[in-house]
Amino acid sequence: MPLVNKLHWRYATKKFNRDKKVPEENITELLKGVNLAPSSYGLQPYKVLVVHSNEIKKKLREVSYHQAQIVDGSHIFIFAAKKDISEREVDEYINRIAQVREVPHSELKDFKQSIQNTLDVMSDSEKLQWAEKQAYLGLGVLLALCTDMKIDACPMEGFENEKYNQILDLDSEGYHAAVIAAVGYRRDDDDYAKLAKVRKELDDFVDLRY
């Protein structure tokens, strides 16, 4: 079945079956897919944390407006944006390109300078906003993969970012919790699953200009 048809099945799950867990091999497949998500320059200025521990999930729920998805979901994906991207990290990325693609560093000099020029004109807050945008691209890929694998998911912004940073010790690593997603399997009594999708008509949503 084409993915566009499967998207009619997807919804932001409100009630997860707490007793049904996503197999670890499926979690690994999701992470492999998210790792292939696009990002500006391919730099991936964020990382993904996966929380399965009930103890940690309970702590996170306290700073997520007590939303049930945090503890009822099988796993919680946290997309943490890099607060700053150092020149050393750019160098490491360039080295990785050279190794994987087997190209000399001399051919990557202009590309490296382009990345550095972009970062140099950004303020600290702009760098974080830029990194958060890349993290959202990863979230989009996660949601598409979950849909394709018939795994339910609920993307969430309703949480206290700074408290997440503290609980997960992100500050010390230079990261900031940007957005999260609970994944698992829907309960049969989740009425939201039965609601028709409400979207704009395609002609109102799309402006084609050829």
- pLDDT tens for 97-113 read 999 999 999 999 999 99
What pTM was estimated for this model as a whole? 0.97
* DSSP bridge partners of 153: 12, 183
Phi, psi of 13, rounded to the nearest 5 degrees:
-65, 130
Mean per-residue pLDDT for 34-51?
99
Please, are residues 70 and 182 in contact by the beta-carbon 8 Å criterion? yes
Mean per-residue pLDDT for 124-153?
98
- Say what the pLDDT of residue 20 is: 98
| 182 closest CA partner among 209, 206, 158 | 158
| CATH class of segment(s) 3-205 | alpha beta
